[in-house]
Amino acid sequence: MRNAFSLFKNQKRMSSHSSGHSTNSPGLNRSYHTNCNSNDDWFRYTRGRFLFNEAQEMSIRYVNFNMNELIKRATESVGLTSAQCSRVEKFPDGMFNKTFLFTMHDGTQVVGKVPNPNAGRAYYTTASEVATMDFARNELCTPVPKVLAWSSKAEDNTVGAEYIIMEKVAGVQLSKVWPTMGFKERFELVKTISTYQKAWMAIPFTHYGSLYYSSDMEDSDGCDLVKGVLSIPKHHRFAVGPSTGREFLDDGRIALDLDRGPWNTVEQYKSAVGLREIACVQNMTRLPRSQLSLYGPGTYCSSRSKKIAALQGYLRLVKYLLPTDPSITSAFLWHPDLHAENIFVHPERPAEVLGIIDWQSSELLPLFDHARQPDFLDYDGPPSTGIDPPVFPDGFDRLDPAEKAEAQDLYLKMSLSALYRRFTYSNNITLFKAMEFRQTTSFEMMLLAQNLLIDGEALYRSRCLDLKEEWTALPGVQASGNAPFPLLFSADEVASINEDASGAIRGMELMQSLRQSLGPMWPEKGVVRPEQYDEVKKLLQQAKAELIDQLAYSETEMAAWEEAWPFDS
């Protein structure tokens, strides 16, 4: 089942790219007038429509606040009055925030950001983001917008919501110029980003969680930044507190009382991940539906007990999965989402980075969790290891023009990805070691456990059956003196696990087929542009009818597929 496990990983990676990232290109434009609170578009999600549970998805993205007061805070941040604000524009909605551009009569511009209810827990989300931006800007020498004004206490300010007022970043979004950049320019940008990543690694932390000002954390006198280096004093301005990471918030997790840290060791952190998922499986009234698989008659039958069994296995395995090299388990601050809309570059010299935005949900995590390929490289092909360049596809000359263009595009992406790895190997060997660890069985088993609330428990348990063959090669097993394999399965359990894995594969194949049938109209994470909503909904209804006609052999099975369908009728 190893290949099936890889299929699940690839499906999960593809679904992680959301169409709802916030951008910094103006969307709805409104001239400033005396009472901006009459415009409901400021407060609601306007960028897309949801194909499942739309009322709930819209409600967690609706935030009511006093726009007139936000304008006042924005103008005061640059020494002006509300009357001197000549224009307010709303940027296209992100999935978690409302963002606005305020233009003053003298041309000065500032950006205001208000988090949605789904952005994170009240107070912690904004408090951590502001401290993180300060640290990244002033301690890690990263081009981050300066925060001009902020409040993490909605009840204590006249805006009526948490907010951040910050400088407007110069330049243009990388997404605007990336398609026209040459390969050499792209690689120069890769090197620039790699330089910032090396700077982020200059300061390890002794705890795992998220970063805050010490004044915002009770009973905190600061945090030890560098492990084992006595010459560097405690940093009294900053403290490590609870994680604001999305995995502790999304899909209903935000509502539960969970251990969000901070944690003293990497094993405590990774164990908290498994305990978090168990608590969610046990306490949620209804489990979230998978967006990776179609589960119905003849596929896999998910259950709370199977999810908990997989997670209990993870908890027994986790200490043996962890790498023993402290350089890649130390905690570092990292940008959580380096995609092309969060990076601003010089329009004429696009390898020159002028700003990196959206530090919300940043975490202090082990380096091996951070060591992903930057999203702006846009490579979703087979994972690469080592530093060798990719091989050009065989039979290229026999392809038709469209196939040649597709193959060449993939080859260029693979080449740039390989150059990133080679450059990292030459200039930041510790990060390269962390990237290599991400290609191991140990990392696979930790990564997939992070989302077993939603999906993957069947293939996870199947992978546990295979793990016994690789057991003695795992880093933690060797360090522990070859501890015995901690999981035992009866013959009946093995048969049941294998049957579940086969059904799960069938469910993934059905969803993949559905995705391919809709092509560019596929609603990534269930979201489509408003003008596409009716058409996509009709296409999904047709697809559901065809699927039920093909797979259901009784009224009972028809009803089961109706219930299992992940989109609204």
Least confident piece of the model among 140-144, 229-233, 318-322 = 229-233
* Residue 375 clears pLDDT 80, i.e. is over it: yes
Which pLDDT value is given to residue 475? 85
* Residue 232 clears pLDDT 60, i.e. is over it: no
Q: What mean pLDDT is reported for the chain?
A: 89
Least confident piece of the model among 103-112, 232-241, 392-401 = 392-401
Q: What is the mean pLDDT of residues 174-190?
A: 94
Cis peptide before 117 (omega within 30 of 0): no
Which pLDDT value is given to residue 4? 56
Which amino acid is residue 207, in one-letter code? H
Percent of the chain with pLDDT over 90: 78
* Residue 9 clears pLDDT 60, i.e. is over it: no
Q: What is the mean pLDDT of residues 195-209?
A: 95
Residues 6+ apart with CB under 8 A from 395: none
Least confident piece of the model among 51-55, 62-66, 128-132, 233-237 = 233-237
481: confidence class by pLDDT, cuts 50, 70, 90: confident
Give Cα separations from 180 to 175, 266, 348, 412 (angstroms): 10, 42, 11, 14
Which pLDDT value is given to residue 219? 72
pLDDT, tens digit, 9 for 90 and up, residues 386-431: 667 777 667 776 777 777 787 777 778 888 888 999 999 999 999 9
Percent of the chain with pLDDT over 70: 89
Q: What is the mean pLDDT of residues 561-568?
A: 90
Least confident piece of the model among 217-221, 303-307, 368-372 = 217-221
What DSSP string describes 57-104?
HHHTT-----HHHHHHHHHHTTT--GGGEEEEEEPPP-SSEEEEEEEE
Q: What is the mean pLDDT of residues 215-241?
A: 69
Which pLDDT value is given to residue 405? 80
Which pLDDT value is given to residue 220? 66
Which pLDDT value is given to residue 225? 60
Least confident piece of the model among 74-78, 232-236, 358-362 = 232-236
Which pLDDT value is given to residue 26? 44
Q: What is the mean pLDDT of residues 173-179?
A: 95
Which pLDDT value is given to residue 386? 66
CATH topology of domain 29-168: Phosphorylase Kinase; domain 1 (3.30.200)
Q: Which residues of 118-140 are buried (b: 16+ CB within 10 A; e: fewer)?
A: bbbebebbbbbbbbbbbbbbebb
Q: Which residue ranges does the chain devote to CATH 3.30.200.20?
A: 29-168
Specify the residue for token string 């490579």. 379
34: confidence class by pLDDT, cuts 50, 70, 90: low
Reduced to 3 states (helix: H, G, I; strand: E, B; else coil), residue 240 is: strand
Q: What is the mean pLDDT of residues 81-99?
A: 94
Which pLDDT value is given to residue 414? 86
Q: What is the mean pLDDT of residues 97-109?
A: 97
What would the two tokens of residue 177 be?
A: 């110029």
Answer with the residue of higher pLDDT: 222 or 363. Answer: 363
Question: For the whole model, what pTM was predicted?
Answer: 0.90
- Strand 343-345 relative to strand 210-213: parallel, antiparallel, unpaired? unpaired
Which pLDDT value is given to residue 404? 75
Residue 262 CB neighbour total at 10 angstroms: 23
